[in-house]
Amino acid sequence: MNDDSSAAALAGSLRRELHRFSGGEKLPSNRTLVERFGVSPVTVSRALAALAAEGLVVTRPGAGTYRASERAALPQTVDTSWQQVALTAQDPEDPPRVVDASGVLATLAPPPPGVIAFSGGYLPPGLQPERALGAALARAARRPGVWERPPVEGLAELRGWFGRDAGVGPAQVLITAGGQAALTTALRALAPPGAAVLVESPTYPGALAVARAAGLRPVPVPVDADGVRPDLLADAFAASGARVFFCQPLFQNPTGAVLAAGRRRQVLDIAHAAGGFVIEDDFARRLGHGGPLPPPLVADDPYGTVVHMASLSKPTAPSLRVGALIARGAVMERLRAIQVVDSFFVPRPLQEATLDLVGAPAWPRHLRAVAAGLRERRDAMLAALASELPGLAPDPAPAGGYHLWLRLPDGTDEVALAAAALRAGVAVAPGRPYFPAESPAPHLRVSFADTTGPEEITEGVRRLASALAQVIGANSRG
């Protein structure tokens, strides 16, 4: 076994040899394992930690590692069919609660080996600031008091940093455990169970999942190339009695649309006239491809109508689960109370590391690298689509974000196409889960972010074209 052998491989070798030791018997020392397998001490420590987590060995500091005593037999399989009744039984007057994570899991599940990921929602490792994150976390961990309880609203300095883009002070900012947690808190704070909540159509599936799990009724409001249509938004408020509208004004997921300048004030006026709130999901603020961006909607809000969401997971790394809610007025106290009840607060070490990261000189350089990397990947996908699938390329191309929304030929079975594409070696997302009601046409969402670059993107589009030809051919034969 070489020096760079993985801890998993070493753990497998040791696992196979444990039968040689009786319960409580001491295993060879770490030094002996290093010499025998030709690995580093760190690899040995990680392998033994993995076995300890499985309950196979016990590590005693200063004494060594021992085989664990024989574990009691696992309990027999029990009949849990009763749970189907318990989980669904409810008062007929109560709103239905549907907990469906499939739309979210589609973007979180890693593709099988050899499959090109056009379905992801995060930056690839090459664009993540891994070294800067590691250094920031290490510095934060050494800071005095870092393991003490932070203010429940979050560190004042971090709240101030999030508030600057919105033109508000720290008192109007609540630090959250990422964007999804912020969305859950906002919907629970603003809409009672059974209420209607207006959403763009199409929209982010995670918003639909959160709303339905809370017993809310998502009501679609169509979007076009300039974002949500104000005339239909006013109609939807009046017809549904809703008091909440969820939207993504900047590089909307999945269409990539930016809310037109002439519609921004209209949206605010319509919501205010209805006595409602606008939840602004500003997830793509730091995913622009270069060029000026409009300010957040909350920055132009004269009423206190907007509850603004921001997150750092998209422009950094999936595990940096740090975000913010921005609101003015009494609603902030409700947001704060709900988060405290749910999770107390966001861990202080993560907040300290985030503050260190965004305050470092490397942060602007990282954002420029992200913009260049996304722009290169977007252009490569557009070029490949123009060559392989010329009728599918969107026009105009999005100026930010990490995905394209492809309108498929009428009659295309998008689910069959996604399955055929996966067999061909490329993972894509069918459009149906993005619609809160009936889908008006077949679509695919293809992400270009989580790829190694133009060469992989070109190959992925070629595989997608082959899958589409196969599906269309099957339909014509049928």
C-beta neighbour count of 83 within 10 angstroms = 9
pLDDT in tens, 67-109: 988 655 555 677 877 777 777 777 777 767 777 777 777 777 7
Would you give per-residue pLDDT tens digits along the chain (478 residues)? 444 457 888 998 998 988 888 888 898 999 899 898 888 888 988 899 888 888 888 888 888 899 988 655 555 677 877 777 777 777 777 767 777 777 777 777 788 889 999 998 899 999 999 999 999 999 998 988 889 999 999 999 999 999 998 889 999 999 999 999 999 999 999 999 999 999 999 999 999 999 999 999 999 999 999 999 999 999 999 999 999 999 999 999 999 999 999 999 999 999 999 999 999 999 999 999 998 999 999 999 999 999 999 999 999 999 999 999 999 999 999 999 999 999 899 999 999 999 999 999 899 999 999 999 999 999 999 999 999 999 888 888 899 999 999 999 999 999 999 999 999 999 999 999 999 998 889 999 999 999 999 999 999 999 999 999 988 866 655 5
pLDDT score recorded for residue 476: 57
pLDDT in tens, 232-259: 999 999 999 999 999 999 999 999 999 9
Considering only CA atoms, which of 394, 427, 392 is closest in space to residue 412?
Answer: 392
Q: Give 364-407 as a DSSP string.
A: HHHHHHHHHHHHHHHHHHHHHHHHH-TTT--SSPPSBSSEEEEE
pLDDT score recorded for residue 234: 97
- Give dist(CA 287, CA 370) in Å, integer: 7
Structure tokens at 376: 């290169």
Matching CATH number, 129-358, of 3.90.1150.10, 3.40.640.10, 3.40.50.300, 3.40.50.1370: 3.40.640.10
Class of domain 102-125+364-477: alpha beta
Class of domain 7-67: mainly alpha
Structure tokens at 253: 């997921």
Considering only CA atoms, which of 355, 277, 340 is closest in space to residue 309?
Answer: 277
> Residues 120-140, buried b or exposed e (16+ Cβ, 10 A)?
bbbbbeebbbeebbebbbeeb
Question: What is the DSSP code (8-state) at residue 329?
Answer: S
Pairing mode, strands 306-311 and 173-176? unpaired
Angle in degrees, 0-180, between the axes of helices 7-17 and 41-53, rounded to the nearest 10: 60
> Residues 295-327, buried b or exposed e (16+ Cβ, 10 A)?
ebbbeebeebbbbbbbbbbbbbbeebbbbbbbb
Q: Name 244's bridge partners.
A: 277
Structure tokens at 245: 């509208």
- pTM across the whole model: 0.84
How far is the CA of 331 from the CAs of 143, 190, 274, 336, 344, in angstroms? Answer: 34, 8, 17, 9, 18
Cβ partners under 8 Å of residue 390, min gap 6: none
Are 243 and 276 a contacting pair, CB within 8 Å?
yes
pLDDT score recorded for residue 4: 40
Domain ranges of the chain: 7-67, 102-125+364-477, 129-358
- Give dist(CA 89, CA 425) in Å, integer: 42
